Amino acid sequence: MNLETKWLEDFVALANTRSFSASARQRHVTQPAFSRRIRSLEQAVGITLVDRSTTPVGLTPEGQLFVVTARNLVEQLSECLSHLRGLEMANEALDIVAAHSLALAFFPKWISRLQKGVGELPTRLIAMNVGDAIHVLREGNCDLMLAYHDPYASMQLDSQVFPSFSIGQVKMLPVCSPDRHGQPQFPLVGEGSIPLLSYTHGAFLGSSVRMLLKNDPLRLRLKTVYETAMAEGLKGMALQGVGVAWIPDFCVKEELSSKRLVRAGDTQWDIPLEIRLYRCSLVHKPGVERLWKRLQKLPHDFLEA
């Protein structure tokens, strides 16, 4: 019997997706080439493994038995090669991309807590916007991504391609500088225009603010006076008394405590978000996959900062 490892990986992918076209995309080959490889596997074992008469495709009874063995063989081989090639996470830095505000104000505390659960974890952190980070993650040029998640925002990631889990909760708060009486200089209640410190159109946090204001009369009173993609940039302008900005609460904790910034509105204007950790299922790095499994088994105390 002459079996190729890639055929086993192809078969496992097909068992997961039940689609030749989806599996071909996942395996980065054309659908005809993928189909030929599945045929080659069936010829090698001398058994029909796939029931092609159904939509989605199914596995024959023999295929259902064989997929268990195929999965075990693929996982065991990956573990062995990982060890032989020295890809243990303890010896190789983990490349993480993160939104700018998460990189500056969230990541240091979170990674410190995480290391109490998994041990020493060398990391390289790069801050970039979410759109660029998704591309980098998909191409295998980083291992993990830290990003905000808003179930009501327009941009949603395919959970099959980008599996994730929550590592924290955050609220975006409307803040501005105080007047001489300690009250908000630009309160959201009342009348008249309000200078808005806005996220640029492509910024993820900006879409959450737009969703909040979409059907609210307040949006007609907000006049954009400054734009940037970074929450820290908006905070700097808010501290200068330029306008109101919606900023993640952990970014303005100290400024609110010292009264250098105050809330411009009550809790009805807060925007709840999740912070999620993502990986890309299309990229197979044994060390990252092992770490991912370990993270999923950790108590929430270690995962959430």
> Domain check: are 174 and 227 in the same one?
yes
Angle at 148 between CA 264 and CA 142, to 5 degrees: 145
Nearest to 259 by CA among 161, 180, 192, 145: 180
- Full-model pTM: 0.66
**C-alpha pair distances (Å), 297 with each of 198, 282, 290, 291, 301:** 39, 22, 11, 10, 11
Q: Is residue 118 part of a domain?
A: yes
126 and 37 co-located in one domain: no
HEC readout, the chain: CCCCHHHHHHHHHHHHHCCHHHHHHHCCCCHHHHHHHHHHHHHHHCCCCEECCCCCCEECHHHHHHHHHHHHHHHHHHHHHHHHCCCCCCCCCEEEEECHHHHHHHHHHHHHHHHHHHCCCCEEEEECCHHHHHHHHHCCCCCEEEEEECCCCCCCCCCCCCCEEEEEEEEEEEEECECCCCCECCCCCCCCCEEEEEECCCCHHHHHHHHHHCCCHHHHCEEEEEEECCHHHHHHHHHCCCCEEEEEHHHCHHHHHCCCCEECCCHHHCEEEEEEEECCCCCCCHHHHHHHHHHHHCCHHHHCC
Of the residues 45, 66, 84, the one at which a domain ends: 84
Question: What pLDDT does 7 receive?
Answer: 92
Q: Are both 75 and 113 inside the same structural domain?
A: no
Please classify residue 199 by burial: count the beta carbons closer than 10 Å to its beta carbon, then call 0-12 exposed, 13-18 middle and 19+ buried: buried
CATH for 42: 1.10.10.10
Q: pLDDT, tens digit, for every residue of 243-300?
A: 999 999 999 999 999 999 999 999 999 999 999 999 998 888 888 888 888 888 777 6
* 26: confidence class by pLDDT, cuts 50, 70, 90: confident
Q: Is residue 252 part of a domain?
A: yes
Domain end, chosen from 84, 116, 142, is at: 84
Decide which of 44 and 300 is more confident.
Answer: 44
Residue 67 contacts residue 12 (beta carbons within 8 Å): yes
* Mode of pairing for the β-strands spanning 94-98 and 123-127: parallel
**Percent of the chain residues topping a pLDDT of 90:** 55
Indicate if 175 and 268 belong to the same structural domain.
Answer: yes
Indicate if 23 and 72 belong to the same structural domain. yes
8 Å CB contact between 139 and 170: no
Among the residue ranges 74-83, 145-154, 238-247, the one predicted with the least confidence is 74-83
Whether residue 269 sits in one domain with residue 203: yes
Number of separate domains in the chain: 3
Would you say residue 181 lies in a domain? Answer: yes
Q: In the structure, what pLDDT confidence band is assigned to residue 50 with cuts at 50, 70 and 90? A: very high
d(CA 60, CA 57): 10
78-123 pLDDT, tens per residue? 767 655 544 444 456 789 999 888 998 899 988 888 888 777 888 8
Confidence (pLDDT) at 120: 80
pLDDT at 55 over 90: no
The CATH number assigned to the domain holding 115 equals 3.40.190.10
Nearest-Å Rg of the Cα atoms of the chain is: 25
Same domain, yes or no: 163 and 232 = no
Range with the poorest average pLDDT among 11-15, 57-61, 135-139: 135-139
Residues 17 and 151 in one domain: no
- Residue 89: the pLDDT is 46
| Structural domain that includes position 143 | 94-168+274-303
The answer on pLDDT for 187 being more than 50 is: yes
**Over the stretch 153-170, which tens digit does the pLDDT of each residue have?**
656 788 888 999 898 899
- Answer yes or no: are the C-beta atoms of 208 and 248 closer than 8 Å: no
How would you classify the pairing of strands 194-199 and 123-127?
unpaired
> What mean pLDDT comes out for the span 41-49?
92
160 and 211 fall within a common domain? no
- Is residue 89 one of the residues assigned to a domain? no
pLDDT at residue 85, as a whole number: 47
pLDDT tens string 201-228: 878 899 899 999 988 899 889 999 999 9
Q: Which residue has the higher pLDDT, 181 or 293?
A: 181
- Note whether 183 and 268 are same-domain residues: yes
Give the model's pLDDT for residue 300.
Answer: 64
Tell me the pLDDT of the chain averaged across its residues: 88
Q: Are residues 106 and 157 in the same domain?
A: yes
Q: Are residues 180 and 246 in the same domain?
A: yes
So what's the pLDDT on residue 41? 93
